[in-house]
C-alpha cells in the first residue's frame, strides 16, 4: 500500500488548482485518482475530451517516484511531455526516435527521481535492459493509455500490447490504471483478462458526446463539398481522415491549392516532419490536418471544430474515437462522414491475406459500420447501443442528421413479427444475411442444406428488398428486441424483450429504409446544384458574341458555354474569382475577363443579388508535374512524341494533356512540331475549319473534314488555333 495523505481529496483539489488551474474535477476524475492513490488498480473508460490524461498526470505529480505511462504513439508522448514541462513538471519519454545520448539522459533522470512522468512505447518494454532499468527507478504506478489496443476485437489492435502484463510481472508490484475512450463490452472483458484487472475498480462514463453533430453524406464527388464545407468554417481547425497515405497527400495538396492551409500526416512521413506538421496544427499555423488514423490519439487540441471522414472507417469504434477529437472543449463539434458501400467492399478485399479469424472479425466490424451508415435510426442511439449504453433518441435534440431530418415511419408490426419469428425458428444460430435470405424465400445451397426452405417464415418477404429487411432487423437490434452475439460470430438471438413481444405482440412502427442517394437529394442538396441565372447567361452570351466579332474569332474561343453557365451561377466580381471559373485560367481571365466582370458586377448590384459561398475547386493536378515537364520541353522544341515517350504517355494522352494546358490559359507554340508532321495545305484547311466552326468538338471536326485528316492532325491544329487566338 502506498503512503498517501489522510485527506486525499483536499490535496487533490489543491493540486488541481495549483498545477492545472481548475477549481473542480469533471465527471468521475476524482474517484479514479483517489482509487489509484490508495494503491488500487483501475480500469477507466471515458469518452475523448472527458479528461482521461489528468487521471494519471495529477497523481503522478503528487505521489513519490515516477509514473510509467505506456503509450502507443510518439506524437502523443511528445505532446503530453511538452504540456507537463509547460506546467513546470519534469517529464520525459523514451522511444525509437531518440539518439542514444538523449535516451540514456532520460533514464538517468528517472533513476535519480527527477521525473514525475515517463512515457514509453510498448515495444521498449520487452528489452531485458529496460526491465532492469525499471527496477532501479522508483515507479509509483503504471498507466496503460489507449488500452483498447490490447484487444484483437478493438479498432486499433497492437500485438505488443498483449505482452504488457508479462513485463509488469517482472517489476516491483505497483498499481495499474488502464485507460481508453472507447471499448465495447467484449473489448472491456478482453482488456481486463489480459492485464489481470479482473478485481480492478471500473470507472465507466457515458459515451454520449452531446456537443457533437453526426452526419453521413453519400460519397459522390466529395472534394467540392469538402472544400466548400471547410471554407464555411471561418478558419476553425479540423481533421480530415483518409484511409490511404496517397489520398492524404492528394487531399492536402488540393486544399492548399484552394486557399486552405493544410498539412498531411501519416506513418510514411519521417518522424521530424510528422512532429513539425503536428506542431503547425497545434499552433494554428494551418487550419486542417489530412491524416490517416495515425494522427490524433491523445493530441490535446480542444478546439477542433470539425472532423471529416473522406473514407469510411474500419469500425464503429474507430469512427467514435476519431470523431471524438472534435469539440473536446465542450463546444460545438461537427462530424461528417462520406459513405460509399464500395469502400466497404474495397476494405474487405484488403483483408484477404490475413488469418481467417482476423479476417472474419474485421469483416464483422466493417458490416457493422455499413449498417450504421445506411440506417435511418438516430446516430447517437446506434453509437451508444454499440457500446452497451441505453439511450432515448428524444434526447438527441437534432444533433444527428437522422433526427434533424426525420425519415418517414411505417406500421412495422407485421414485418417485426416475421423477423423475430424467423430468429426463433432457427434458434438464434444464424447471422443477419442468412435470416434475410430465409425471409426473401431464397433456395440457395445453405438454405436447402439446413432445411430452412421449410420454415414458416421462408418467403414471407412482403415485397421488400434485401436492404429493407436488413434495416428492419437492425432496428430490432437497436431497440433491444434482438441481440447480436459478438462472441458467436455475430449470430442474431432473441432478447427477453423480443420473446415477450412475440408472446404478446403490440403495435410497432419503424423508420422507412431510404437509399443514400435519396437522402442526399432530400437533405444534402447544396447551392452548387441550383440552375444558373439564365437572364445573366443570355447577357454573357451577347457580350461574348460582340467580343468575338470585334476580334474576328469564333465565340467559343472567347469562352465556352460551360464557362458562361458557371459565371451565371457563381457571379464572379473580381479577377481572382473570375480566373477560378470553369475553363478560365489566369491567361484567359487577363485577356478577356474585364468586360465580363464589369457586366456581372453591374448585374449583381442592379438586382440586389446575394452571392453564395459556392466554391470552384482548383485542382492540384495529379499531372501538375507532367504539365511543367511538357511546357519546358515544348519551349526547348522537343518533339511531342519524344516528350510522350519520356513521360510514358500514349500520343493520345499526350495530346489530351496538351489540350488541358492550353485551355487552362497557357500559350504554347507547337509550330516546330506541326511543320514537320502536317502538310501545309492540310494545316490551312483545318485552321480555316475551326475559324468558322461553332464548336471545337473533335467528332464534329472529323466528320466535317473527312477521312483524309487523322485525329492526331486535327487535335494538333485545334491546339495551335486555340493557343494563338484564345490565350
Residue 379 included in any domain: no
Instruction: Look up the CATH number of the domain holding residue 635.
Output: 1.10.10.1390
Q: How confident is the model at residue 619 (pLDDT cuts 50, 70, 90)?
A: low
Give residue 68's pLDDT band: very low, low, confident or very high (50, 70, 90): very high
Is residue 297, in this structure, part of any structural domain at all? yes
Q: How far apart are CA 431 and CA 421, in angstroms?
A: 14
Mean pLDDT of all residues in the chain? 84
Local confidence band at 377 (pLDDT 50, 70, 90 cut-offs): confident
Does residue 100 lie within any of the structural domains? Answer: yes
Listed in sequence order, the residues at least 6 apart from 142 whose beta carbon sits closer than 8 Å to its beta carbon are: 67, 68, 69, 70, 168, 174, 175, 176, 177
Residue 518 has pLDDT above 70, yes or no: no
CA distance 383 to 580: 41
**Separation between Cα atoms, residue 388 and residue 202, nearest integer Å:** 15
pLDDT at 290: 94
Q: What is the mean pLDDT of residues 627-647?
A: 88
Q: What is the pTM of this model?
A: 0.61
- Domain end, chosen from 606, 633, 668, is at 606
Give CA–CA dist 692/428, Å, rounded: 75
| pLDDT score of 262 more than 50 | yes
Give the pLDDT score at 625: 59
Domain match, 251 and 279 both: yes
607 phi and psi angles, rounded to 5 deg: -105, 10
The Cα diameter of the chain in Å comes to 103
pLDDT band at 622 (very low <50, low <70, confident <90, very high): very low
Compute the distance between CA of residue 332 and CA of residue 318 in angstroms, rounded to an integer.
Answer: 21
User: 355 and 223 in one domain?
Assistant: yes
Residues 15 and 148 in one domain: yes
User: How far is 201 from 377, CA to CA, in rounded Å?
Assistant: 34
* Whole-angstrom distance, CA of residue 148 vs CA of residue 324: 15
pLDDT tops 60 at residue 63: yes
109-146 in b/e burial notation, b at 16+ Cβ within 10 A? bbeeeebbbbbbbbebbeeeebeebbeebebbbbbbbb
Residue 27 counted as domain residue = yes
415-467 pLDDT per residue, tens = 999 999 999 999 999 988 899 999 999 999 999 999 999 999 999 988 888 88
Stretch 645-668: mean pLDDT: 84
Q: Using one digit for the tens of pLDDT, what is the confidence trace for 525-562?
A: 333 334 578 889 889 999 998 998 898 888 878 888 77
Q: Residue 709: helix, strand or coil by DSSP? A: coil
Residues 515 and 591 in one domain: no
pLDDT at 61 over 60: yes
354-366 mean pLDDT = 80
Same structural domain, 287 and 333:
yes
Count Cβ neighbours within 10 Å for each residue of 40-69 and write b for 16 or more, e otherwise: bbbbbbbbbbbbbbbbbbbbbbbbebbbbb
Task: Quote the pLDDT of residue 616.
Answer: 52
Residue 311: pLDDT band (50, 70, 90) is very high
Q: Which of 493, 508, 523 is the last residue of a domain?
A: 523
Per-residue pLDDT reduced to its tens digit, 127-169 = 777 888 888 888 999 999 888 777 655 555 666 777 788 788 8
CATH number of the domain at 565, please: 1.10.150.80
**Domain-located, residue 237:** yes
Residue 666 has pLDDT above 90, yes or no: no
What's the pLDDT score for residue 154? 54
- Torsion from C-alpha of 659, 663, 665, 669, nearest 10 degrees: 40
pLDDT at 554: 80
pLDDT at 504 over 50: yes
pLDDT on residue 156: 59
pLDDT tens-digit series, residues 339-348: 887 888 888 8
246 versus 336: which is more confidently predicted?
336
Q: Do 58 and 18 meet the contact criterion of CB atoms below 8 Å apart?
A: no
Quick one: pLDDT band at residue 671, thresholds 50, 70, 90?
very high
Does 174 have pLDDT greater than 70?
yes
**Model confidence at 624, in pLDDT bands (50, 70, 90)?**
low
Q: What is the pLDDT of residue 347?
A: 86
pLDDT at 613 over 70: no
**pLDDT tens digits for range 403-423:** 888 778 889 999 999 999 999
Read off the pLDDT of residues 684-713 as tens digits, 9 standing for 90 and up.
999 888 888 877 888 888 888 888 889 999
Helix (H) or strand (E) holding 88: none
**Facing residues of 306 across strands?**
238, 334
**CATH number of the domain encompassing residue 445:** 1.10.10.10
Looking at the domain assignment, is residue 288 inside a domain? yes
- 42 vs 618, residue with greater confidence: 42
- Give the pLDDT score at 717: 92
CB 215 within 8 A of CB 400: yes
- Give the pLDDT band (50/70/90) at residue 520: very low
587 and 440 inside one domain: no
Residue that terminates a domain, selected from 580, 606, 632: 606
Q: For position 649, what pLDDT does the model report?
A: 83
Tell me, yes or no, whether 196 and 248 share the same domain. no
If asked whether residues 221 and 194 sit together in one domain, one would say no
* 5 pLDDT above the threshold of 60: no
Residue 534's domain spans which residues? 528-606
- The answer on 174 and 38 residing in a single domain is yes
Closest to 282 (Cα-Cα) out of 80, 421, 563, 14: 80
- Residue 651 forms part of a structural domain: yes
Same domain for 135 and 42, yes or no, is yes
Same domain as 440, residue 557: no
Q: Which residue has the higher pLDDT, 126 or 313?
A: 313
Number of domain units in the chain = 5
Q: Are 32 and 42 in contact (CB under 8 A)?
A: yes
In angstroms, the CA 571 to CA 569 distance is: 6
How many percent of the chain have pLDDT more than 90? 31
Res 171: pLDDT: 79
pLDDT tens digits along 553-610: 888 788 887 788 888 888 899 988 888 787 777 778 888 899 999 999 999 888 887 7
Residue 404, domain member (yes or no)? no
DSSP 361-417: HHHHHHHHHHHHHH--S-HHHHHHHHTT----GGGGTT-BHHHHSPPPEEE-HHHHH
Look at residue 109 and tell me whether its pLDDT is greater than 80: yes
Shared domain for 299 and 429, answered yes or no, is no
Confidence class for position 3, pLDDT limits 50, 70, 90: very low
How do 409-411 and 509-511 pair as beta strands? antiparallel
pLDDT for the residue 522:
42
Q: Would you give the distance in Å from CA 664 to the centre of its chain? A: 31
CATH number for the domain harbouring residue 178: 3.40.50.300
Amino acid at each position: 500500500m502506498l503512503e498517501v495523505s489522510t485527506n486525499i481529496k483536499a490535496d487533490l483539489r489543491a493540486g488541481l488548482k495549483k498545477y492545472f488551474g481548475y477549481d473542480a474535477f469533471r465527471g468521475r476524475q476524482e474517484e479514479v485518482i483517489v482509487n489509484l492513490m490508495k494503491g488500487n488498480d483501475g480500469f477507466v473508460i471515458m469518452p475523448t475530451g472527458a479528461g482521461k490524461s489528468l487521471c494519471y498526470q495529477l497523481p503522478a505529480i503528487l505521489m513519490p517516484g515516477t509514473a510509467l505511462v505506456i503509450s502507443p504513439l510518439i506524437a502523443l508522448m511528445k505532446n503530453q511531455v511538452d504540456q507537463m514541462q509547460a506546467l513546470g513538471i519534469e517529464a520525459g519519454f523514451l522511444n525509437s526516435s531518440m539518439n542514444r545520448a538523449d535516451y540514456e539522459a532520460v533514464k538517468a533522470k528517472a533513476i535519480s527521481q527527477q521525473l514525475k512522468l515517463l512515457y514509453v512505447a510498448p515495444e521498449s518494454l520487452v528489452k531485458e535492459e529496460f526491465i532492469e532499468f525499471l527496477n532501479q527507478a522508483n515507479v509509483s504506478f503504471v498507466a496503460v493509455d489507449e488500452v483498447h489496443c490490447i484487444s484483437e476485437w478493438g479498432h486499433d489492435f497492437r500485438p505488443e500490447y498483449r505482452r504488457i502484463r508479462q513485463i509488469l510481472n517482472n517489476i516491483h508490484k505497483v498499481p495499474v490504471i488502464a485507460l481508453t475512450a472507447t471499448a465495447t463490452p467484449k473489448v472491456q472483458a478482453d482488456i481486463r483478462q489480459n492485464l489481470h484487472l479482473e478485481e480492478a475498480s471500473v470507472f465507466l462514463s457515458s459515451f454520449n458526446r452531446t456537443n457533437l453533430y453526426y452526419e453521413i453524406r453519400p460519397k459522390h464527388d466529395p472534394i467540392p463539398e469538402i472544400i466548400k464545407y471547410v471554407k464555411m468554417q471561418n478558419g476553425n481547425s479540423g481533421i480530415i481522415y483518409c484511409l490511404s497515405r496517397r489520398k492524404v497527400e492528394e487531399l492536402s495538396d488540393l486544399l492548399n491549392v484552394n486557399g486552405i492551409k493544410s498539412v498531411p500526416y501519416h506513418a510514411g512521413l519521417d518522424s521530424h516532419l510528422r512532429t513539425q506538421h503536428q506542431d503547425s496544427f497545434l499552433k494554428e499555423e494551418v487550419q486542417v490536418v489530412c491524416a490517416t488514423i495515425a494522427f490524433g490519439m491523445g493530441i490535446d487540441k480542444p478546439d477542433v471544430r470539425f472532423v471529416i471522414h473522406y473514407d469510411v472507417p474500419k469500425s464503429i469504434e474507430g469512427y467514435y474515437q476519431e470523431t471524438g477529437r472534435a469539440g473536446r472543449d465542450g463546444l460545438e463539434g461537427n462530424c461528417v462522414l462520406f459513405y460509399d458501400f464500395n469502400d466497404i467492399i474495397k476494405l474487405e478485399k484488403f483483408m484477404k491475406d490475413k488469418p481467417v479469424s482476423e479476417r472474419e472479425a474485421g469483416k464483422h466490424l466493417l458490416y457493422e459500420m455499413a449498417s450504421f451508415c445506411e440506417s435511418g435510426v438516430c446516430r447517437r442511439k446506434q453509437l451508444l447501443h454499440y457500446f452497451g449504453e441505453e439511450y432515448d433518441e428524444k434526447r438527441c435534440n437534432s444533433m444527428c442528421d437522422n433526427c434533424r431530418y426525420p425519415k418517414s415511419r411505417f406500421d412495422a408490426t407485421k414485418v417485426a413479427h416475421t423477423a423475430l419469428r424467423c430468429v426463433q425458428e432457427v434458434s438464434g444460430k444464424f447471422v443477419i444475411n442468412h435470416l434475410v435470405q430465409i425471409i426473401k424465400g431464397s433456395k440457395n445451397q445453405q438454405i436447402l442444406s439446413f432445411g430452412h426452405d421449410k420454415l414458416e417464415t421462408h418467403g414471407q418477404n412482403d415485397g421488400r428488398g434485401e436492404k429493407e429487411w436488413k434495416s428492419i432487423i437492425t432496428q430490432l437490434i437497436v431497440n433491444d428486441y434482438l441481440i447480436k452475439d459478438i462472441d458467436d460470430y455475430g449470430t442474431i438471438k432473441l432478447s427477453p424483450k423480443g420473446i415477450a413481444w412475440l408472446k404478446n405482440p403490440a403495435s410497432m412502427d419503424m423508420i422507412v429504409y431510404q437509399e443514400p442517394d435519396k437522402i442526399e437529394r432530400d437533405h444534402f442538396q447544396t447551392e452548387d446544384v441550383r440552375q444558373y441565372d439564365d437572364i445573366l447567361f443570355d447577357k454573357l452570351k451577347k457580350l461574348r458574341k460582340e467580343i468575338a466579332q470585334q476580334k474576328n474569332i469564333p465565340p467559343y474561343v472567347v469562352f465556352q458555354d460551360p464557362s458562361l453557365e458557371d459565371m451565371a451561377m457563381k457571379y464572379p466580381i473580381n479577377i481572382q474569382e473570375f480566373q477560378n471559373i470553369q475553363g478560365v485560367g489566369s491567361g484567359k481571365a487577363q485577356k478577356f475577363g474585364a468586360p465580363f466582370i464589369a457586366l456581372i458586377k453591374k448585374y449583381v448590384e442592379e438586382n440586389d443579388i446575394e452571392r453564395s459561398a459556392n466554391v470552384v475547386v482548383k485542382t492540384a493536378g495529379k499531372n501538375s508535374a507532367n504539365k511543367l515537364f511538357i511546357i519546358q520541353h515544348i519551349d526547348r522544341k522537343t518533339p511531342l512524341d519524344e516528350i510522350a515517350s519520356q513521360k510514358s504517355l500514349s500520343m493520345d494522352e499526350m495530346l489530351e494533356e496538351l489540350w488541358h494546358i492550353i485551355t487552362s490559359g497557357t500559350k504554347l507554340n507547337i509550330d516546330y512540331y506541326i511543320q514537320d508532321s502536317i502538310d501545309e495545305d492540310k494545316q490551312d484547311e483545318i485552321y480555316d475549319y475551326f475559324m468558322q466552326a461553332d464548336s471545337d468538338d473533335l467528332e464534329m471536326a472529323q466528320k466535317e473534314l473527312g477521312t483524309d485528316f487523322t485525329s492526331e492532325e486535327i487535335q494538333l491544329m485545334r491546339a495551335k488555333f486555340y493557343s494563338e487566338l484564345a490565350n
